[in-house]
């Protein structure tokens, strides 16, 4: 789970995951071009995502296709859901406060 949160901490890596959700199977070159990165820079981001299990890479000839693998995010979501009651209470209090101010 630490690797998942580490990978998701970077906006470029989150952007890569979004692109792969919208367009599965993009090549490393296509991804790099989308973010104005050179191949070595994109490869470093993909290595982090791969280490976290968030993507898979498949090589066909000279082209490497990248696919989203969202399974590790399920564990992170389950962990976050355990703490949902803490922020839900705070949001309920904020809503009550806003409603109270609006009535005055």
Domain of residue 42, CATH code: 1.10.10.10
CB environment 9-22: b (16+ within 10 A), e (fewer) = eeeebeebbebbee
- The boundaries of the domain holding residue 74 are 2-103
- Write out pLDDT tens, residues 21-71: 999 999 999 999 999 999 999 999 999 999 999 999 999 999 999 999 989
Domain count, the chain: 1
pLDDT surpasses 80 at 92: no
Query: What is the pLDDT of the chain when averaged over all its residues?
Result: 89
Inter-residue contact 49 to 3 (CB < 8 Å) = no
Q: What is the structure's pLDDT at 91?
A: 67
List C-alpha distances in Å: 59 to 55, 66, 96. Answer: 13, 9, 55
């Amino acid at each position: 789970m630490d690797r998942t949160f580490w990978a998701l901490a970077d906006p470029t890596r989150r952007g890569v995951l979004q692109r792969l959700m919208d367009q599965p199977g993009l090549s490393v070159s296509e991804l790099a071009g989308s973010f104005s990165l050179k191949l070595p820079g994109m490869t470093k981001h993909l290595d982090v995502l791969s280490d976290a299990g968030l993507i898979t890479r498949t090589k066909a000839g000279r082209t490497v296709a990248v696919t989203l693998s969202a399974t590790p995010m399920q564990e992170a979501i389950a962990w976050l859901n355990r703490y949902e009651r803490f922020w839900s209470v705070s949001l309920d209090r904020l809503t009550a406060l806003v409603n109270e101010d609006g009535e005055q």
